[in-house]
Amino acid sequence: MRAEARRALAEGWPIVLTSVVVGTAFGIAARQAGLDPVEASGMSMIIFAGASQFAALDLIARNAPAPLVVATVLLLNLRHLLMAAAMRVELAQRVAWQRAICAYLLTDESFAMGIAHVRRGGRGMTYYLTFAGSLWLGWNVATVIGATLVSDAIDPKRYGLDFAITATFVAIVVIGIRGRADVAVAIGAGLLAGALRLLGASAIAVVAAGALAPLIAVALKDRE
């Protein structure tokens, strides 16, 4: 178990470090949107989904009604159902409280690292929980730092901090590619998400792309 934990930290520290950077940017943005440190920290602890949290902040800054904010967060996080389904085989034998912890810590990054570990023959939850727990800790500590200690004069976009989460997702995709089929899936999902974003349907872009990806994978498998 200790070896798996050390491996998770050795392989995942760049992503954890990125989460600290993005979490700090979120803390700054939350304060600029009118949230106090307790509210910003509460959002990170309860939602724990970077893209959804930034989307919520954008709506809050525009004085959007609370039901719209909640609905947007839920819609963006529907992709977690797809990731959870992919992990079901590994977690089916676990007791309810273990599955609940894994579900709470589930993010794009922890899913990608956990699935990659399984593909290499890894078993058990130590690797996944070590990485996911480190990611959670880094994100929440960084949120507090950004919301309390960093000057309001710092603009995350000026230093490219707003792109850090995008760069992380690109790295996750690259890590998961094992052949031409994976490349086709990534390109197809990326094109659909980008097209929906340009059409103004950002809220459903991720979910739609996530639903398209397995269809492409099945089509390619049947063709082979």
Mean pLDDT by runs of 10 across the 224 residues of the chain is 86 87 88 90 92 85 86 82 81 84 90 83 85 95 89 61 65 69 76 78 66 67 58
- Identify whether the C-beta of residue 124 lies closer than 8 Å to the C-beta of residue 8: no
Look at residue 22 and tell me if it is in a domain: yes
DSSP 67-81: HHHHHHHHHHTTHHH
Same domain, 40 and 150: yes
Look at residue 94 and tell me if it is in a domain: yes
Q: Which residues of 96-125 are buried (b: 16+ CB within 10 A; e: fewer)?
A: eeebeebeebbbbbbbbbbbbbbeeebeeb
The predicted pLDDT at position 157 comes to 63
Same domain, 186 and 156: no
- How many other CB atoms are found less than 10 A from the CB of residue 4? 19
Look at residue 172 and tell me if it is in a domain: no
Same domain, 145 and 46: yes
Same domain, 146 and 198: no
In the three-class reduction of DSSP (H, G, I as helix; E, B as strand; rest coil), residue 149 is classed as: coil
- How many other CB atoms are found less than 10 A from the CB of residue 14? 10
The predicted pLDDT at position 56 comes to 87
Residue 159 belongs to domain spanning: 2-165
Look at residue 171 and tell me if it is in a domain: no
Number of domain units in the chain: 2
Confidence (pTM) = 0.77
Look at residue 68 and tell me if it is in a domain: yes
C-alpha closest to that of 114 among 90, 97, 134, 85:
90
Q: For tokens 């956990």, what's the residue? A: 114
- Identify whether the C-beta of residue 61 lies closer than 8 Å to the C-beta of residue 34: yes
